[in-house]
Amino acid sequence: MSHSIIVSGLVWLPILLSLYIFKRRYLALGFLCFLAFLSHHIVDCFQTYTPILYPIVDRSVWVKVDGALHISYDNLNPKISLDIASKPTIFKEFVEMDAPIFTSEGLPVSIILLAIPLILSFKRLGIPSGRIPDPPDRSSVRVEPTISKDDVTVVLPTLNEVEAIGSVISELRSEGYRNILVVDGYSSDGTVDVALGMGVKVVYQHGRGKAGAVKTGIEYASTPYTVFMDADHTYDPRDISKLLLHAANYDEVIGARVDRRNIPLMNRFGNWVITKIFNILTGSNLSDVCSGLYVLKTERARDLDIESGGFSVEAEIAVQIASHGSITEVPVSYRRRIGKPKLRSFKHGFEIASTIIRLARYYNPPLLLASLMASALIPGAAIYLWVLYRLLAYGVWHSGWAILAGVLVIFGGQGLILSMVTLMMRRMERRITRMIERVGR
């Protein structure tokens, strides 16, 4: 079974998926290594019977190539023969390790094959052999925004953040932000006392959850720009200046977390899934729609119709801005949290994803409908593969299931085409809107 391309592909799938999520710049290298690994399977077909397509085809294949060249005084007479033999795959009881990268000549061959893409990739990236250098420290990069810091209100939504709130306020003041607003969700641990003791304005939120705090912060903000930042010490106030560099040209600028070591693994995966759903349904190309650091134009923020009641507020704001405004993102750092975390991966992840889908129904219903239609391609393709497997392995043709698969594939294909047309129309709408805005200026 270790010689099967399908089984090996399933083994490599989590590796490639992990590279895509956490180290996307090495994804091409990982895929090259995967292809190099598979080349040993193919070469092995010329040496012995190999179950290369197991379990779709339950037969082992052997490609026999023979050749000779007969040399005489009169002429050269080449001879070559090609034969493909097969027999049912029979698995014996496991006795010893027998995998392509361990047996006899397999180890040096695999090392050579994997070394080639590694060398090519390092040369392409300009990375010398040996230790890969550490990335530069982004926290040391200083940028000065064109927007005055007095034109910015930094809103800190809080709920029992007594351990971190003092440090966050001190860092904000050291960066020159004087308009700091703490919106408290009726903390019981002394968070308000610490904020008041440091001379910061504190208001109690109305509504429930983080969304209520955001709505309250928008109402009390009196400056042209409003920055929202989690009060748990995870975001560095020095990164706010990066957002303000672009705030004049966009309705929302999101701080995309590039260093995610301090984000729990399940939260990282959930954020990736939610961001993909967001990008599909809005036609955007963001990387961190759930970030807790972002800047809004205050006038634009007051036009938002926020209906959610929890951690999905960031996604709800981004959906509305992406549908009828301009949105972008800049890279920011992400530190270890101080205090007890409040985000629950499954509960709040499902809530955020549901909010995105619900909002897409209002702000982009054609794309949502087309995406739902396109999802029929998945069961259609799965049924087709099952029908093909039954036909090749047992010679049984399931005409009814094949017809159902055809209907699903056709239906899903139409949805895919509609979704592409919808995205093209949305991009055209945005271009026309930007042209009108430029003419109006």
For the segment 264-290, the average pLDDT, to the nearest whole number, is 79
Q: What pLDDT is stored for residue 117 in this prediction?
A: 63
- Which residues are within 8 A (CB) of 439 and not within 5 positions of it... i.e. 6 or more apart? none
Boundary of a domain, candidates 327, 346, 363? 363
C-alpha to C-alpha distance for 97 and 91, rounded to whole angstroms: 14
Q: Does position 175 have pLDDT exceeding 90, yes or no?
A: yes
145 with 275, same domain: the answer is yes
Which range is most confident: 222-236, 336-350, 423-437? Answer: 222-236
Q: What pLDDT is stored for residue 16 in this prediction?
A: 84
Tokens of 24: 């996307």
C-alpha to C-alpha distance for 424 and 172, rounded to whole angstroms: 42
32 with 166, same domain: the answer is no
For the segment 43-70, the average pLDDT, to the nearest whole number, is 80
Boundary of a domain, candidates 330, 363, 396? 363
Q: What pLDDT is stored for residue 363 in this prediction?
A: 61
Which range is most confident: 143-147, 299-303, 428-432, 434-438? Answer: 299-303
Asked whether residue 111 is domain-assigned, the answer is yes
C-alpha to C-alpha distance for 273 and 270, rounded to whole angstroms: 5
Q: What pLDDT is stored for residue 132 in this prediction?
A: 37
Q: Average per-residue pLDDT in the chain?
A: 80
Distance, C-alpha 356 to centroid of its chain: 16
CA 77 to each of CA 65, 70, 202: distance values in angstroms, whole numbers, following the listed order: 17, 5, 95
| Of 325, 346, 344, residue with least CA distance to 209 | 344
Q: What pLDDT is stored for residue 425 in this prediction?
A: 75
DSSP for residue 71: E
Angle at 236 between CA 153 and CA 27, to 5 degrees: 125
Q: What pLDDT is stored for residue 194 in this prediction?
A: 95
20 with 146, same domain: the answer is no
58 with 164, same domain: the answer is no
Asked whether residue 131 is domain-assigned, the answer is no
Confidence of residue 394 (pLDDT cuts 50, 70, 90): confident
For the segment 129-158, the average pLDDT, to the nearest whole number, is 67
Q: What residue spans of 253-395 are helical by DSSP H?
A: 265-282, 298-302, 313-324, 345-363, 365-374, 377-394
Considering the chain, what percentage of its residues have pLDDT values greater than 70? 78
Lowest model confidence (mean pLDDT) among 28-37, 215-224, 356-365, 386-395: 356-365
For the segment 377-383, the average pLDDT, to the nearest whole number, is 89
- Which residues are within 8 A (CB) of 196 and not within 5 positions of it... i.e. 6 or more apart? 202
State the total domains in the chain: 3
Tokens of 422: 């919808």
Q: What pLDDT is stored for residue 298 in this prediction?
A: 94
| Chain segment 240-271, per-residue pLDDT in tens | 999 999 999 999 999 999 877 878 777 777 77
Residue with the bigger pLDDT between 158 and 391: it is 158
C-alpha to C-alpha distance for 399 and 196, rounded to whole angstroms: 74
Asked whether residue 301 is domain-assigned, the answer is yes
92 with 143, same domain: the answer is no
Confidence of residue 138 (pLDDT cuts 50, 70, 90): very low
Q: What pLDDT is stored for residue 133 in this prediction?
A: 42
- In which domain, by residue range, is 377 found? 368-440
Q: What pLDDT is stored for residue 156 in this prediction?
A: 96
Residue with the bigger pLDDT between 288 and 101: it is 288
232 with 185, same domain: the answer is yes
Q: What pLDDT is stored for residue 205 in this prediction?
A: 95
21 with 145, same domain: the answer is no
| Of 282, 298, 318, 147, residue with least CA distance to 218 | 298
Boundary of a domain, candidates 363, 382, 402? 363
Please give the torsion angle defined by the CA atoms of residues 74, 78, 79 and 81, in that order, rounded to the nearest 10 degrees: -170
Residue with the bigger pLDDT between 130 and 370: it is 370
Q: Are 214 and 158 in contact (CB under 8 A)?
A: no
Q: Which residues pair with 156 in a beta bridge?
A: 182
359 with 374, same domain: the answer is no
Q: What pLDDT is stored for residue 209 in this prediction?
A: 84
268 with 388, same domain: the answer is no
| Of 325, 144, 333, residue with least CA distance to 256 | 333
Phi, psi dihedral angles at 159 (to 5 degrees): -155, 100
Confidence of residue 416 (pLDDT cuts 50, 70, 90): confident
Q: What pLDDT is stored for residue 274 in this prediction?
A: 79
Residue with the bigger pLDDT between 133 and 345: it is 345
Q: Does position 48 have pLDDT exceeding 70, yes or no?
A: yes
Which range is most confident: 109-113, 163-167, 310-314? Answer: 163-167
Asked whether residue 132 is domain-assigned, the answer is no
61 with 205, same domain: the answer is no
343 with 202, same domain: the answer is yes
| Chain segment 180-234, per-residue pLDDT in tens | 999 999 999 899 999 999 999 999 999 888 889 999 999 999 999 999 999 999 9
Q: What pLDDT is stored for residue 437 in this prediction?
A: 66
Strand order in the sheet with 252-257: 201-204, 180-184, 152-158, 225-229, 293-297, 252-257, 327-332
C-alpha to C-alpha distance for 315 and 356, rounded to whole angstroms: 7
252 with 344, same domain: the answer is yes
Q: What pLDDT is stored for residue 125 in this prediction?
A: 44
Asked whether residue 395 is domain-assigned, the answer is yes
For the segment 43-51, the average pLDDT, to the nearest whole number, is 79
Asked whether residue 107 is domain-assigned, the answer is yes
Q: What pLDDT is stored for residue 179 in this prediction?
A: 95
Lowest model confidence (mean pLDDT) among 280-289, 315-324, 356-365, 429-438: 356-365
| Chain segment 70-107, per-residue pLDDT in tens | 777 677 778 888 888 888 887 665 555 455 445 555 56
